[in-house]
Amino acid sequence: MIKKEPKDPMQQGNAAKVLIVGDWDADGVVASAEIVYAQEVLGVFPVKGKATIELRPAGPRTFSSVVSNGCWDYVIILDIPFTQDVEMGLETLLKGPCKPKIYYFDHHKSTLDKASYLEEKFNVEAFVGLSPTSSLVKAFLESIGVRLTPRLKELVASVAVLEGGSGWLARKDGSPSEGMIKVAASISKNTNQSKDPDLWRRYVRWASSILPFEQSPISQGEDIVTHGLQVSRESDAEIKDVARELAMEARTVGFVKFVDARGKWNKSGASALASSIYKITKMTTALLVTKEDGSSILIVRGSQGNAIKLVEKLFTMGIVEDVGGHENIASGRLKAGVNIKELEDALRRASLELK
């Protein structure tokens, strides 16, 4: 669903302040770059004219803290699934003195399900659909007369390939080059692995640039694209090695392979690890990992939409909370007090019910 252009007046006096909060992955980076291009280069959205832009990466669990220290006229949320933590962040934004206008572009199921709730409770302009967030942003911007650069168009198409090409907007974005698909994949791996906000911002700036493929230095003699591709290759090799080991330890629970990786994987990239184990076991895979804040996250990788269905079943059973993700890869935070036996029993029951 794409809504028509919001009718916001141009800010008077000092330049309006715009906060762009995007997910760490390539979809979030490219969507953020599209908004930067529309505002800084063309001056058409969200403000007609000049505006000061601030760029901050976030995930659903860090969103609240990311938006808690600042004052903006507009906040653009990109590719972040709606969760309890995100709701807390929105409440903080609107309880403060600034009360910004909020736009929310996303394609995650939890956001699609709560779009009307977001509009009614927070007066958010929600732009949601099945296509990747960068495809939704592209369609919206084109509807108000924006012509994206060739670089942005190809990056949007590359993200659509990486996201599985779901949604009719993604299917009409064209066929990107193999090289650009690799660049987009490397962006996700590099930013997710480093969790470096400055690196994320450099990728956004590079993607939004109207200049040819100029170098964006990471360090002396190394440009952002070359660096990202190298990190991607190294990350792939490490994840494959760990996935082979963990796949051998996986326990069959109902129709699910369950892997308890707490203490064995404490880096970012857990979703990629779950996908790698899934490719080895060829069964729906549930991977349990520990995050930096000490919480345990269950990541489910499956096919034919059974990942999100399984996590939602666990939610109704009271096993997990803060559910998010896509049809074939979804996650939930293990509730405090739930032990491994209770989780395995719930996984067994939930997987049997889905058969």
> How far is it, in rounded angstroms, from Cα 103 to Cα 20?
10
> How far is it, in rounded angstroms, from Cα 20 to Cα 36?
8
Q: How many other C-beta atoms can be found within 10 angstroms of the C-beta atom of residue 310?
A: 26
Q: Is residue 8 part of a domain?
A: no
Q: How many other C-beta atoms can be found within 10 angstroms of the C-beta atom of residue 339?
A: 9
Same domain, residue pair 24 and 163:
yes
Q: Is residue 182 part of a domain?
A: yes
**Using N-to-C axis directions, what is the helix angle for 197-208 and 26-36, rounded to 10°?**
50
Last residue of one domain, picked from the residues 195, 213, 231: 213
Same domain, residue pair 33 and 119:
yes
Whichever domain contains 302, its CATH number is 3.10.310.30
Q: Is residue 3 part of a domain?
A: no
Q: Is residue 238 part of a domain?
A: no
Per-residue model confidence as pLDDT tens for the chain (355 residues): 444 444 443 444 578 999 999 999 999 999 999 999 999 999 999 999 999 999 999 999 899 999 998 999 999 999 999 999 999 999 999 988 889 999 999 999 899 999 999 999 999 999 999 899 999 999 999 999 999 999 999 999 999 988 876 555 555 666 788 888 889 989 988 898 889 999 999 999 999 998 765 544 444 334 767 767 777 677 778 889 999 999 999 999 999 999 999 988 877 778 889 999 999 999 999 999 998 778 899 999 999 889 999 999 999 999 998 888 888 888 999 999 999 999 999 999 999 998 7
Q: Which two structure tokens, joined as six digits, stand for 72?
A: 């903006």
* Neighbour-count burial of 237, counting CB atoms closer than 10 A to its CB (0-12 exposed, 13-18 middle, 19+ buried): exposed
Q: Is residue 286 part of a domain?
A: yes
Same domain, residue pair 84 and 149:
yes
> How far is it, in rounded angstroms, from Cα 239 to Cα 236?
5
Same domain, residue pair 56 and 128:
yes
3-class secondary-structure state, position 24: coil
Helix (H) or strand (E) holding 223: strand 222-223
Same domain, residue pair 59 and 186:
yes
Please list the alpha-helical segments (H only) found in 82-132: 84-95, 109-113, 115-122
Structural domain count of the chain = 2
CA nearest neighbour of 262 among 239, 295, 311: 295
- In the chain, count of helices (H) and strands (E)? 14, 13
Same domain, residue pair 185 and 315:
no
Same domain, residue pair 207 and 259:
no
Segments forming the whole domain that contains residue 306: 250-354
Same domain, residue pair 207 and 270:
no
Same domain, residue pair 42 and 174:
yes
Same domain, residue pair 40 and 145:
yes
Last residue of one domain, picked from the residues 213, 241, 260: 213
Same domain, residue pair 207 and 265:
no
Last residue of one domain, picked from the residues 213, 231, 265: 213
Q: Is residue 245 part of a domain?
A: no
Overall pTM surpassing 0.75 (yes/no): yes
- DSSP codes of every residue in 317-339: TTSEEEEEE-SSEEEEEEPTT--
Q: Is residue 114 part of a domain?
A: yes
Q: Is residue 270 part of a domain?
A: yes
Could you say which DSSP state residue 172 is in?
A: T
Q: Which two structure tokens, joined as six digits, stand for 154?
A: 């190809």
